[in-house]
Structure 1
Amino acid sequence: MRQIPNYEKAYISGQKLRKYLLSETHAIGKAKAKFFRSLGFNDDNIELFEQELMTIAYTEFVAEEIRTLFGIKYIVDGMLPTPSGISTKIRTIWIVEPHDERPRFITAYPQRMFATDKRSTT
């Protein structure tokens, strides 16, 4: 088991949380926004949301590594404490691109969204 390479340099770019993960109008992000908002995350405590996601990058181990043309994606699962008082298991995805050694946050979603994934192994 290992952590994301250069995890101490991990970052979440600009408006990623506000315009994607917490956006109720984003074509792809709105289902995730509904989930995270139901746990108390919103525009008023976005810094807390970012801090909790960064804590997962800093403290949890890589569950899976995926090599792509754009870089290496790191799947990192962890517990997310929330403003509602509930902690929930989520999956975060980070990428290290060939031109930048810093892991960049891509997305996060509840573990139950992938818990029933039955990928073929043949």
Structure 2
Amino acid sequence: MKIPSGLVIQDEKITKYLLVYQPKSDKSKYLALAGYNLENWELLKNDIMNAVEGSEIAKVTPSDWGTQFEVKSEWTGPNGQLIKVITIWQQDEETEFVRFITLYPDKSQET
């Protein structure tokens, strides 16, 4: 099953969460390895969208608010480093949009 269309990423998810150091479950250091920072946050947003649109869903999970989708993807960051991530999306009940929740490094293929 492919991820539905209508993907939405709120700018704040990138500028105030993913690319800002978090004491718990930080993603900014991993994204920095591929060259992402607050100065090029729009590039990260576009790269996530381009990597996920039309992708196969790895896992579907019902939640209290709708349906969550897990999508594995990879792309090359602005510094040429390959990045492998798992993104979490949610389609809230009675909406047509699928909104971005978070991402984390995909360590499933590491040796």
TM more than 0.5: yes
Compute the displacement of 1:88 (Å).
2.1
Matched residue type, 1:100: T
Tell me which residue corresponds to 2:2: 3
Determine the C-alpha separation between the residues in 2 that align with 1:59 and 1:89. Answer: 17
How far did 1:101 drift?
1.4
Shift of 1:23: 0.6
Higher helix share: 1
How far did residue 100 of structure 1 move? Answer: 1.9
User: Shift of the alpha carbon at 1:28?
Assistant: 3.5
* 1:36-51 alignment runs, 5 A limit: 36-51=31-46
Give 1:11 shift: 0.8
Unaligned runs of 5+ in 2: none
Asked if 1 retains the 8 angstrom alpha-carbon contact of 2:34 and 2:83, the reply is no
List 4+ stretches of structure 1 deviating above 2 A. Answer: 26-29
Partner Cα separation in structure 2 for residue 103 and residue 70 of structure 1: 12
Match of 2:60 among 57, 61, 65: 65
SS of the residue 1:52 aligns to:
helix
Q: Percent identity?
A: 29
> What are the equivalent positions in structure 2 for 1:13-92 lying under 5 Å apart?
13-24=10-21, 26-29=22-25, 31-92=26-87
Offset at residue 43 of structure 1 (A):
1.1
Rg (Cα) greater in structure:
1
**C-alpha distance in 1 between matches for 2:65 and 2:24:** 20
Is contact 1:56-1:77 (8 Å) kept?
A: no
Alignment gaps of 5+ in structure 1: 117-122
Amino acid at match of 1:10: L
